Structure 1
């Protein structure tokens, strides 16, 4: 139960975040619901109504234990705001479906008669008791009746479609209603929150089972019903559920579900509401999974953030343009030192929770890790340093509006890694499981799994059918993954391998040298091609996959195809460079055997340096030549 206790602590420490705005920390006994109708009541009389646009629909509503997780044939009504079929006393006059107003009014009447009654709620109750809500909405031309005077279930055709049918997914009876009474938006009224909370907790003490709360150790009202909508407002999966009396959720160990767990109503509300708030605030979704990290004292200690490549180490770091890996590493160290020097953070406990829907109705915890912030930041720093590679950033020019690219060095975003390796339309389950494995590498410092590297190599050797920019972005991510794997592999074997981002002129690995040679041949042909053939794929790119499998025989073929292009060049610089690379390959070890992933690293590092890295040196060499 450690994660529940941590979340309850987060709730207690952030009570000031309980505000009227959506996606904030919810009060105990509240959930968020999309409303489609807003009805204004003034002095107990209907005044006005409107259909809400989606941008204004999210509404905080009070709920009971039963209504917060309602499902089945006879779902419990919410205490105040609800669908028309619950709150309209005259609903049965306009529909054959049958309303549930009698069930709805029981709670509202008890609330209005209690010592915790709120005047505005009492005024609303008196209006609803008059039984004119549907009639008023019809007269206001919000609801639409058929020729028999009944609510139309479905609008036929697309022309002149009423606003209510554009916003409600079901029938008009399913329209969710919120109220404004005497100019007060009840869903934002803190006085109503206080009134409802005190009344409902008093009811729980009189009606619910009093037992030991395993979270706080107190004898308080407990519940077996835990709120849903954890990941988002449409999520009906629950983290804790006990209604499976046919399976083996608790059978074989306990006679009934109450023996297996005893959680206080207040504790369950605090934990789930805190988790919802954290997910909305700093969670990150990968397919069907969501991951969120928080500190025991500082909730925003670390955030999953797209702009900062998984972790928001420094808000300005991704905007820097790094010409060398040393500059990138230095900036990363400065960002990390800034975090580790903050008060409390060095000894802060950091929790990371990963959730995924095991079935449509149940959430499973696929990852939970609790560690010190100092160790976590060291692991994150190591991740960024070892998976960084050349990176192309795109932005729009302020004056011309044209898209401009710039070169830097950085680490790819986790979501981008997965979608690059498995495709944009990756299966949500695969996306979630891959994210879980990468989170372990980042947060726990575990080595990158070999299959990620293998997938990156296969993807990098497949340039066919892609534009130059598209393939370059794929290649950048793949190289980052491959570099990370080889650094981790060397670390496991007790060695230190730097794997430079720029071309490693000292590396004698055959695979790396072959990659460099292919990059030079590709650059020569691309540079020497006539203008009318610029879009044509080079021989080097066409034979890239074959070269990686049969390097010796493919190299001979590529060299023969390269001769016409060498003759067109005005310099021998690139020919000398190619000869220098090939001369470093040991003939005794060079055979038609598949090359390793370092082939891709050598290819992109050399190609990048030819395009951007050695421009001054190249210009000087070509001039001297």
Structure 2
């Protein structure tokens, strides 16, 4: 099946769960742009009081409220003409005079006098025909475009808020279907005969509210002219199928959507509404996912170990998906779809990426991506206010930052455009097995090789540099694996004699040596010679190494005998030849991996080997004391 069939099937299988928030023949309004007026009446249409749902304002503690309202095809697409919504509408339609009121009253009367109307609808009609709305709301002074909704207080009806009553929306949809008098045609989504959709919904995505995914069969401009002589000759979509597909897509976007401007990325398992799958591109929810999975399977010692070394996300993902309900829950829902939607213009929403995979294939591709592109990464744990380690692929946004840098302000349109394209390219790497774009890898290496260009508050940002370095190492590792068919270890490779890798290790050891010396001197300076000369070092390593080494001379006596000093001497001896060491050609991305590995290795030596030596010394002293 295609996307449209999958959306309709999914809505049908989850009607009970969706009929309250996403009923058919409806749209939604909110208090984001203006206040909403609530008129409260009794069961006989008598005015009781009114109240206001204030305009959303986070600073004042007023949250956004989303309210579902019934619509017709014509009213949903209205712009400047008169086309009233059935029950809830703007004050300009309800205030009691003019063409708008006449249109609204006629439609409400038809609904109220039909066999589908509920007692609440009849009460609202009795109130509206009195033409007292403007008088009753005089103290509030609503604008013509302020929405007015109704609350009906009835003794045998506990649900007074009409917009939350499921029976109200069911009644409206059944009534509206009965009014569609056009001939039933073949619905190309389900293959059954339905009343055709004349106009399709907008407001699918909040980021592009006026954009439509399916254009209308207009009789003007260019919609079908040049291809057909009449709109009926084009592919027809049934009204109910269109409503179900759009409502389920709206549900997915609101609950699964990952936004970038007008672009939204999401995935779903056909026929299922619960969030049983990891998103196609990861964000900061990774750590929450890992915490939930690890606490179900591990003892305290394992959790402590992971806090120190980092959880392997790829491995945890595989185990979690198969072991903690994911696998079992999804056995009857075999298909998973990955979708990217984007609004190129204000009125057009397009599907720019769509893949339909078997459930196991989806899980394997996500896990394989995290396995092939994994590195030791840090995330900020907001709850505990500390950085935590995990081993996995960097998020797509972190990759984009490593390749392109950060945006120039919150509304950098050119950067948003770049992010949209990058997300689609990376999705193809994840789900199509495409190679990482070479330009991405090269750009990330260049950015990581220029640490002084990574700043925060006008100064070198060590944390930002380490974040970009780790992301770049993940990309280099993935690229090396794909193109050379060889793996790259996450931890230091002490026997590796590759020139690029060894020069990276030298740079890392020099960086650690000076960093430690500055720490002992209680210096606030964080820019070492290794950092200062890194960009030049990547192009002319042998010549630049002499410069860096000379900068270390003042510190060598301070830390002589330390791990960093010992490592520098040991690494020099690992070059296969003097000629290899003295070759002054540019380094490839392996040098960054060597740099990262060496810094991490020295940290390990300081923390573990140093601790063991102190323990041995303490035990020897204890033994001597016992012998006295």
TM-score range with shorter-chain normalisation? Answer: 0.7 to 0.9
Cα 1:411/1:326, change in 2 over 3 Å: same
Matched, 1:180 2:151: yes
In the alignment, the residues of structure 1 paired with residue 121 and residue 333 of structure 2 have an alpha-carbon distance, to the nearest angstrom, of 48
Alignment RMSD (CA, Å): 2.9
Q: Which residue of 2 aligns with 1:149?
A: none
1:164-203 equivalences in 2 (<5 Å): 172-182=143-153, 184-203=160-179
User: 5+ residue gaps in structure 2?
Assistant: 57-62, 155-159, 297-302, 618-628
Pair 1:298–1:500, CA change in 2 (3 A): same
| Partner residue, 2:358 | 372
- Is residue 508 of structure 2 the alignment partner of residue 516 of structure 1? no
Q: Aligned equivalents of 1:263 and 1:192: distance in 2?
A: 26
Q: What is the CA deviation profile of residues 302-359 of structure 1, one whole-angstrom value per residue up to 9, with x for unaligned ones?
A: 2426345499688425996265589655434422432774265387111111110121
2:247 is equivalent to residue 273 of structure 1: yes
Q: Give the equivalent residue in structure 1 for 2:626.
A: none
The corresponding residue for 1:161 is none
- The whole-number CA distance in structure 2 between the counterparts of 1:384 and 1:311 is 16
Change (3 A) 1:551 1:257: farther
**Counterpart Cα distance in 1 of 2:438 and 2:591:** 16
Query: Which residue pairs with 1:576 in the alignment?
Result: 566
Distance change >3 Å, CA 504–CA 329, structure 1 → 2: farther
Q: 1:278 to 1:324 in 2, by over 3 A?
A: same
1:4 is matched with 4
Deviation, 1:129, is: 1.8
Instruction: Tell me the CA shift for residue 112 of structure 1.
Output: 1.4
**Given the alignment of the two structures, is residue 547 of structure 1 paired with residue 533 of structure 2, yes or no?**
no
Q: Structure 1 stretches of 5 or more lacking a match?
A: 93-98, 144-163, 165-171
Alignment of 1:10-49 (within 5 A): 10-20=10-20, 24=21, 26-35=22-31, 36-42=36-42, 43-49=44-50
Q: 1:57 aligns with which of 57, 65, 69?
A: 65
Q: Are 1:615 and 2:586 matched, yes or no?
A: no
Q: 1:263 Cα deviation (Å)?
A: 0.4
What's the CA shift for 1:591? Answer: 2.6
Residue 75 (structure 1) shift: 5.1
Q: Within 1, Cα distance between the matches of 2:114 and 2:311?
A: 69
Q: Tell me, in whole angstroms, the C-alpha distance in 1 between the residues paired with 2:570 and 2:199.
A: 72
Work out the CA distance in 1 between the residues paired with 2:236 and 2:206: 26
Of residues 458, 461, 464, the one that matches 2:446 is 458
Per-residue CA deviation, residues 177-220 of structure 1 (Å, 9 max, x unaligned), is: 1110126111111221222122111001x2x3432111122222
Q: Which residue pairs with 1:476 in the alignment?
A: 470
Structure 1 contact 250–260 (Cα < 8 Å) conserved: yes
Query: Deviations 1:257-308 (Å, cap 9, x if unpaired)?
Result: 3322200000000001011112222222233211221122434442426345
Match of 1:74 in 2: 81
- After TM superposition, the structure 1 stretch with the greater mean CA deviation from structure 2, 523-532 or 194-203, is 523-532
Q: Deviations over 1:526-569 (max 9, x none)?
A: 11126453334111101111100111211111111111111111
1:122 aligned onto 2:122: yes
CA contact (8 A) 1:309 1:412 kept: no
Structure-1 separation of matches of 2:231 and 2:294: 51
1:379–1:311 CA distance, 2 compared to 1 (3 A) = farther
Please give the per-residue CA displacement for 1:481-506, whole angstroms capped at 9, x wherever unaligned. Answer: 2222222222xxxx3x2211111222
**Shift, 1:413, TM fit:** 2.0
1:446 alignment counterpart: 434
2:497 is the counterpart of 1:526: no
- What is the TM-score with the length of structure 2 in the denominator? 0.84
SS in structure 2 at match of 1:298: coil
Q: Deviations over 1:384-437 (max 9, x none)?
A: 112221122334686xxxx43344423322233223433342622221111111
Distance change in 2, residues 1:587/1:370 (3 Å): same
Q: Give the match's secondary structure for 1:345.
A: coil
Aligned twin of 1:594: 586
Please identify, of 335-344 and 590-599, the stretch whose mean Cα deviation from structure 2 is larger. 335-344
Offset at residue 524 of structure 1 (A): 0.5
Indicate the larger mover: 575-584 or 513-522: 575-584
2: CA distance, partners of 1:350 / 1:411: 21
CA shift in 2, pair 1:269/1:323, >3 Å: same
Retained in 2: the 8 A contact 1:483–1:499?
yes
Worse overlay, 549-558 or 27-36:
27-36
Distance 1:396 1:109, change over 3 A: closer
- Count of equivalent residues: 573
Q: How does 1:232-381 map to 2 (within 5 A)?
A: 232=206, 235-242=209-216, 249-300=223-274, 301-304=276-279, 306-309=283-286, 315-316=292-293, 321=306, 330-338=315-323, 341-342=327-328, 345=331, 348-381=334-367
Query: Is 2:310–2:388's contact at 8 Å kept on the other side of the alignment?
Result: no
> For residues 290 and 312 of structure 1, what CA distance do their matches in structure 2 show?
21
- Structure 2: distance between partners of 1:113 and 1:597: 75
Q: Check 1:308–1:364 CA distance in 2 against 1; reply closer, same or farther (3 A cut).
A: same
The verdict on how the C-alpha distance between 1:6 and 1:605 changes in structure 2, with shifts beyond 3 A counting, is same
User: Cα deviation per residue 1:575-612 (whole Å; 9 max; x = unaligned)?
Assistant: 22112212223432443322111111111121122224
1:104 corresponds to which residue? 104
Question: Could you tell me which residue of structure 2 aligns to residue 155 of structure 1?
Answer: none
- Contact 1:88/1:101 (<8 A) preserved: yes
CA contact (8 A) 1:323 1:409 kept: no
Pick from 409, 412, 417 the counterpart of residue 391 of structure 2: 409
Q: TM (normalized to structure 1)?
A: 0.84
Return the alpha-carbon distance in structure 2 between the equivalents of residues 308 and 137 of structure 1.
46
Hey, what's the Cα distance between the residues in 2 that align with 1:396 and 1:203?
53
